Amino acid sequence: MKNNSLLRLENVSKQFGGLHAVEDVSFSLNKKEILGLIGPNGAGKTTCFNMISGALKPTTGKIFFKGIRIDGLPIHKIASMGIGRTFQIVRPFYSLTALENIQAALGIEKYQSKFQFWQKWDNQNIKKMALEILEKVGLADFAHYKAGLLPLGNLRRLEIARALALKPELLLLDESFSGLRQEEINKLSELILQIKESGVGILLIEHNMRVAMGLSDRMVVLDHGKLIASGPPEKIKNDPHVIEAYLGKGEKKYVAS
């Protein structure tokens, strides 16, 4: 079991001065699995995310990806190992077109090499690959628009497309549904399930409970930096600790579905 897991966090903690943003958190994620990471605001979800993607170094603890220790490696190294991520607040390359955003991500191997980055990127092959990815997320019609001109819903798709262009084995989605309309949410959920079926492991941070419960195979709940529950969505839904974290004590009658 241990060796099969794609991503594994072992007793990871992160302190910012006196603040324990994440405290002794352990969980693992397998291939072809969606793990929902939920918790109230300030629970440490994004901090966890940033440690996995390399933006932050854990104070203590270890993070393994495919059995290799990755905590403390620079972001671009981790990305090149096969971890793609999106951002809670979208960060597309605004001055590039949607297509160029994807083309840029397709160069991941060239950027790591010693000399191959002198090769031409502007070729038909790369363009075709990028268009295919845009088509997959339903942005083909916007390929030649500057990313800065696209609305939020499309930018969220663009970020997922950009992460997919890395051909990741693990995809980290940071609140990819926030600020979207219901139709957009439905379409995006379908897309995420498709990505999962293609064999990618997905770690999903989500505030929208219905979406998170519907998509996740397993869930992990954080509160004040601590892991308070983990298991399948049905179990999480009825876990008294989770209900308490979200709604406080003595309100169990009114738990939302």
Partner 1 sequence: MDSYIITIGIFIAINSIVVSGLNIIVGYAGQISLGHAAFFGIGAYTAAILATKAGLSFWLSLPVVIVITGTIGLLMGLPSLRVREDFLAITTIGINFIVEAFFMYVPFFGGALGIGGIPRIEFFGTPLHGFAFLVLCLVFLVIALFISWWFTKAWCGLACFTLRDDEVAASTIGVSPVKFKLLAFVIGTAMAGIGGALYAHYMRFISASDFGFPVSVMMLSMLVVGGMGTVWGPILGAAILGILPEVFRPLIDYRMLLYATLLLLVIRLQPGGILGDNGFVKSRLKAFSRGGKNEK
Q: Does 140 engage in binding with partner 1 (CB under 8 A)?
A: no
Closest C-alpha to 174, from 31, 18, 45, 1: 45
Q: How many CB atoms lie within 10 A of CB 184?
A: 17
Q: Does 16 engage in binding with partner 1 (CB under 8 A)?
A: no
Given a contact cutoff of 8 angstroms between Cβ atoms, the answer to whether 28 and 7 are in contact is yes
Stretch that binds partner 1, among 1-9, 13-21, 107-115, 187-195 (CB under 8 A): 107-115
Give the residue, chosen from 15, 72, 93, 143, that forms a contact with partner 1 under the rule CB under 8 A. 93
Instruction: Compute the least distance from the CB of residue 148 to partner 1, in Å.
Output: 9
How many residues sit close enough to partner 1 to count as binding (CB under 8 A)?
38
CA distances from 147 to 54, 170, 226 (A): 25, 25, 37
Contact letters for partner 1, residues 162-181 (x by CB under 8 A) = xx-xx---------------
Instruction: Specify the residue, 16 or 121, whose C-beta has the smaller distance to partner 1.
Output: 121
Q: Does 157 engage in binding with partner 1 (CB under 8 A)?
A: no
Instruction: Compute the least distance from the CB of residue 81 to partner 1, in Å.
Output: 9
Q: Does 95 engage in binding with partner 1 (CB under 8 A)?
A: yes
DSSP bridge pairs for 173: 204
Contact letters for partner 1, residues 57-86 (x by CB under 8 A) = -----------------xxx--xx---xx-
Q: Does 236 engage in binding with partner 1 (CB under 8 A)?
A: no
Q: Does 205 engage in binding with partner 1 (CB under 8 A)?
A: no
Please name the amino acid found at residue 251.
Answer: E
Instruction: Compute the least distance from the CB of residue 56 to partner 1, in Å.
Output: 12
Closest C-alpha to 64, from 139, 109, 2, 122: 2
Angle at which helices 124-136 and 98-106 pack, to 10 degrees?
110
Q: Does 215 engage in binding with partner 1 (CB under 8 A)?
A: no
Give the residue, chosen from 19, 60, 67, 121, that forms a contact with partner 1 under the rule CB under 8 A. 121
Give the residue, chosen from 117, 135, 241, 251, that forms a contact with partner 1 under the rule CB under 8 A. 117
Nearest 5°: the CA angle 161, 167, 44 is 70
197: left (phi over 0), alpha (psi -120 to 50) or beta: alpha
CA distance 125 to 123: 6
Q: What is the dihedral of CA 126, 128, 132, 138, to 10 degrees?
A: 100
Instruction: Compute the least distance from the CB of residue 198 to partner 1, in Å.
Output: 19
Contacts of 190 (CB under 8 A, 6+ apart): none
Q: Does 138 engage in binding with partner 1 (CB under 8 A)?
A: no
Residues that bind partner 1 (CB under 8 A): 53-55, 74-76, 79-80, 84-85, 87, 91-96, 100, 103-105, 107-112, 116-122, 162-163, 165-166
